Amino acid sequence: MTTAMRHKAAQKTGVDQFLTFLRVVLSFFIITGLVMFVLQQINPDNPIAARINPDATGLTADQFEGLVISGLSQGAMYGLIALGYSMVYGVLGFINFAHGEVFMVGAMTGMIVSNKLDEAGAWESNFLLSLLFIIVVAIVCSTATAVIMERVAYRPLRGAPRLIPLITSIGVSFLIQNISVVLLGPGAKSYPTLPDWLADKRSILFFEIEGTKIMVLVVAAISMAGLWFLVERTKTGKAMRAVAEDKEIASLMGIDVNKTIVTTFAVGGAMAGVAGILWGILFRSVIHTTGFLPGIKAFSAAVVGGIGNLGGAMAGGLSLGSAESLAPLMVLEPWGIGGVSQLKDAVAFLVLIFVLLVRPTGLFGERLSSEDRA
Amino acid sequence: MTDRNGATPLLEMRGINTHYGAVHILKDVELAIYPGELVCLLGGNASGKSTTLKTLLGMVTPTTGDVVLDGEVVNGKPTSYLVERGVTMVPENRRLFKRLSVKENLELGAYLRTDRDGIQRDLERVYSMFPRVYERLSQKSGTLSGGEQQMVAMGRALMSNPRVLLMDEPSMGLAPALVQTNFELIEQIHQEGVAIFMVEQNANMALSIADRGWVLQTGRVVLDDTADALMANPELRASYLGEA
Ligand SMILES: Nc1ncnc2c1ncn2[C@@H]1O[C@H](COP(=O)(O)OP(=O)(O)OP(=O)(O)O)[C@@H](O)[C@H]1O
Ligand SMILES: [Mg+2]
């Protein structure tokens, strides 16, 4: 067996060579970009940087800090969404592409309820309580969406080849977007303005952080801690992990596999609901397609972290968020690539491609043995 | 079926036929396990032994015939219904939850139970039976050796406090020295009053500890007798005991 594998490894195919080529080129691109960035920070007039991109401005410490914080807060939101992709993949082995829409439902309900609260005057006078309330409502609606989706669209397909629920999920995704257009119209809608005190910067340790971002990070951290507790410390969580690993034996233990799968969708939906509110706080604008890009990025984050691995989904989200915030200025600009701040989205997917090239199982993914792959 | 002084069988198969799709696997299988017995089912590869166990537990639904537990027909009931009533299995290849710790595997064995004291008592029973398991409680079960995994699999099954334990090839993949120990453990569990229904390829070993046995051939029960009689059966000796 091992000798056969070694033999196979020795015979490099054209594809392998091409992949190695890509790995080398991308690594060179990233490392050189970073090195040039550092050189330029040290001495803005150094000959190498000046030659490749004379217009590069570099970053001040404040700008850098700002980018890190906004990267992390968006990354935390991606991470929350990524958990849902990862958990569903863990139990059912397919990617639920409609999960981005579960997130969008959370953001939409948050928008509706927060505007109602604003009309009633509660948004201004009692912001924290209002926020808690819209989070709860978003959790309820997103969870319901995820659970109904499982029941109506995916359960009848249990046992079908994985490609079938995957394609179905794309259909479900369009369906939910269109329902949103029918119910709420096609235009973008906004959240009420946030209270002024929230935007103030506060110093935490060595950082000066905007209140909004502190709030986003705190809410995300609490949600993740809750999820961690559920999965690792409760009987329900143990059942979820058992079902993810072996459904037949889980049912032999007396676990209700269907119920556990529903719970998994529900918990993933709840996390997406929270993320929807975070989106509302960060960007204050929602439209029926809001779920698409964050959804795809969160999916990338789940893959980057190692799909099926919850810690990985979080770490993947934070890394992806930071990368898309920092890389345009730290890697692309030194190369003289123009309009870098608009390349955020491209960077997110470049990160995905790079991680898959270098570590196909993701940062924290376990190597699937042929036995596990099923 | 051999009626044992009018006692009710704990678990029975009556005229069972099981199909996978169009493939007919079990053919008119009749068997009965009485409380506290140690019985075995012998048969070559693909004769339908595992399918028999899965059918008993409701993991596979028979096309015709009845699975009967304590005189009640339990066809179509979920597996959890049987587990709650004292039937469980050590599956083929052990099938531990490899990413979960040893302790979590044992706790999952008691998933349906709510009697905390009883669970604690059974945990301690498992620890005293398998001291090795106790030493490795927080280890991921996938990192255990084959012998240790076998112990955890048996411990996990015992945690449901079964009246009858189905065992699918418990000696498969174990070193010869361990096979012996393993059979001793099975006898020990049996002596604590648990009925055992064991599927084995190692016919010699199995018959040496069993009371009765059946031989399955392409899904049909071809022999049904006491262990001693099976041991002496020339046909069986030829096909399973490696004597030409
Ligand atoms: N899920 C399934 N779907 C289709 N066919 C199956 C399935 N499970 C088992 N079979 C087939 O049913 C037959 C009996 O299988 P079974 O596992 O019961 O045999 P066995 O006696 O336990 O064999 P072994 O000694 O190799 O474990 C085999 O031919 C097998 O290929
Ligand atoms: Mg078998």
* Total tally of structural domains belonging to chain A: 1
The domain in which residue A297 lies consists of: 80-303
CA of B42 to the centre of ligand 2 (A): 11
User: pLDDT: is A192 or A205 the higher one?
Assistant: A192
Q: Identify the CA nearest to B186 among candidates B159, B209, B212.
A: B209
Give A109-126 pLDDT, tens digit per residue: 999 999 999 999 999 999
pLDDT at A70 over 50: yes
A8 band by pLDDT with thresholds 50, 70 and 90: low
Residue A43 inside a domain? The answer is no
Which residue out of B19, B20, B90, B221 has the highest number of ligand 1 atoms within 8 Å of its CB and is therefore the one to mutate?
B20
C-beta separation of B89 from B81 below 8 A: no
Residue A364 inside a domain? The answer is no
Residue A239 inside a domain? The answer is yes
A4 band by pLDDT with thresholds 50, 70 and 90: low
Residue A341 inside a domain? The answer is no
Ligand nearest to the CA of B42: 1
Rounded to a whole number of angstroms, the distance between the first and last alpha carbons of chain B is: 30
- Ligand 1 atom having least distance to the Cα of B21: 4
Give A134-164 pLDDT, tens digit per residue: 999 999 999 999 999 999 999 999 989 989 9
Give B151-207 pLDDT, tens digit per residue: 999 999 999 999 999 999 998 888 888 888 889 999 999 999 999 999 998 888 899
pLDDT at A344 over 90: no
Q: What is the pTM of this model?
A: 0.90
Nearest CB neighbour to A254, from listed B59, B83, B98: B83
Residue A274 inside a domain? The answer is yes
In 10 A of CB B27, how many CB atoms? 16
> Chain A interface residues facing chain B, Cβ-Cβ under 8 Å?
235, 238-239, 241-242, 245-246, 248-256, 366
- What percent of chain B has a predicted confidence (pLDDT) above 90? 75
Residue B176 is predicted with a pLDDT of 86
Nearest C-alpha in A relative to B156: A253
C-beta separation of A207 from A192 below 8 A: no
Q: Identify the CA nearest to A302 among candidates A356, A265, A238, A242.
A: A356
pLDDT at A304 over 50: yes
Q: What's the mean pLDDT when you consider all of chain B?
A: 91
- What percent of chain A has a predicted confidence (pLDDT) above 90? 62
Q: Ligand 1 pocket: which residues have CB below 6 Å?
A: B 20, 23, 25, 43, 45-51, 92
Fold of domain B1-86+162-244: Rossmann fold (3.40.50)
Say whether A252 and B109 touch across the interface (CB within 8 A).
no
> Domain-by-domain residue ranges, chain B?
1-86+162-244, 94-161
Tally A–B CB contacts below 8 A. Answer: 57
Residue A276 is predicted with a pLDDT of 97
Residue B213 is predicted with a pLDDT of 93
Residue A171 inside a domain? The answer is yes
Ligand nearest to the CA of B43: 1
- Ligand 1 atom having least distance to the Cα of B52: 18
Strand partners for B66: B14
Nearest CB neighbour to B97, from listed A245, A254, A256: A245
Nearest CB neighbour to A245, from listed B57, B83, B99: B99
pLDDT at A306 over 60: yes
pLDDT at A48 over 80: no
Report the C-alpha gap between B40 and A256 in whole angstroms.
30
Chain A contact for B98 (CB, 8 A cutoff):
yes
Task: Specify the residue with its C-alpha closest to ligand 1, atom 2.
Answer: B20
